[in-house]
Every structure is written in C-alpha cells, then in structure tokens.
C-alpha cells in the first residue's frame, strides 16, 4: 500500500508542475486578447495569416487579428478584423500590411501610422492595405524566372 501512495503523490506533483508550466507559458507568450477598439482592413490576399496573429506597430504588439472573412462580390478579397489596444489613437489614414516573421514563421499585420489629425474609431476601417507576399513565388521567380539567356 505504501508504494501506491508514493506513486499517487508523485503523479500529483507531476500534474501540478505541468499546470504551473502551462499558466507560466501562457502568460509569457502574450496570446491573450487585447481589449480596445475593433477595426477592419480589406486585403486582396492574406497568405497564411491566421486569427490570433499579432498586430504590430513599430515591431511592438498592439493588437490581435480576431477574424478573417471573405469579402462580397465583385471584390472577393479577405477582410481582417483587428482588435487594437485602447488609447492607441492611430490616425485614420494609417496603413496595414501583412508581413512575415521569417522564412518559416507565420504572418502578422504591420500598422504604419498616417499623418491625419483624426483618430481611427471603433468600428472603423483601415483604407490603405498591402497584401501578403508569397515567399515561395518570389523564390521561384528569382531562381527560374529572373535569369535571362542570351542567344548568339
């Protein structure tokens, strides 16, 4: 009976450590939803952007992509819903682009502030957007399509 009690106690300690690690990792990963204003941005393509991706300003996380949906005809682009932190006061002529974290990493939305004196409001739309760049397409063009052959 003593060995079963020891095994149960060790199992409980392992589970407790796992739960503590999970909460620590969640806190440090900064994946919690940002509370603030919600805006939309229309892109012709979003590439591998996913809900939950970061929205960054000057490389600093200021929001989260909360939803991706298909636009209406005849546009049929992608509409990204962004949740931005409260008190950001972005100019309403700011632009959004989809950037890549690295060659193998995911995408995020990069915000570039405009020069307007009016702030972007809750429910507003970012008018100026730049779609995701297809890295594999760029690499294949550089390798196979960018070389010219001269014939004599």
Res 149 pLDDT > 60: no
**How far is 29 from 26, CA to CA, in rounded Å?**
5
Is 84 or 133 the better-scoring residue by pLDDT? 84
Q: For the full predicted model, state whether its pTM sits above 0.85.
A: no
- Please give the pLDDT value at position 95: 93
- Please give the pLDDT value at position 64: 92
Res 96 pLDDT > 80: yes
**How far is 41 from 84, CA to CA, in rounded Å?**
12
**How far is 76 from 67, CA to CA, in rounded Å?**
16
Q: Over the chain, what is the mean pLDDT? A: 84
- Please give the pLDDT value at position 65: 92
């Amino acid at each position: 009976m003593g060995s079963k009690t020891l095994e149960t106690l060790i199992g409980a300690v392992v589970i407790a450590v796992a739960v503590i690690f999970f909460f620590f990792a969640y806190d440090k990963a900064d994946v919690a939803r940002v509370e603030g204003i919600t805006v939309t941005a229309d892109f012709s393509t979003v590439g591998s952007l996913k809900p939950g991706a970061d929205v960054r300003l000057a490389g600093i996380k200021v929001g989260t992509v909360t939803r991706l949906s298909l636009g209406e005809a005849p546009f049929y682009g992608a509409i990204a819903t962004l949740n931005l932190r409260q008190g950001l006061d972005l100019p309403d002529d700011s632009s959004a682009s989809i950037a890549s974290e690295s060659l193998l990493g995911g995408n995020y939305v990069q915000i570039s502030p405009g020069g307007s004196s009016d702030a972007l409001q809750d429910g507003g739309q970012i008018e100026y957007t730049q779609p995701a760049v297809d890295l594999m397409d760029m690499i294949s063009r550089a390798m196979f399509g960018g070389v010219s052959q001269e014939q004599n």
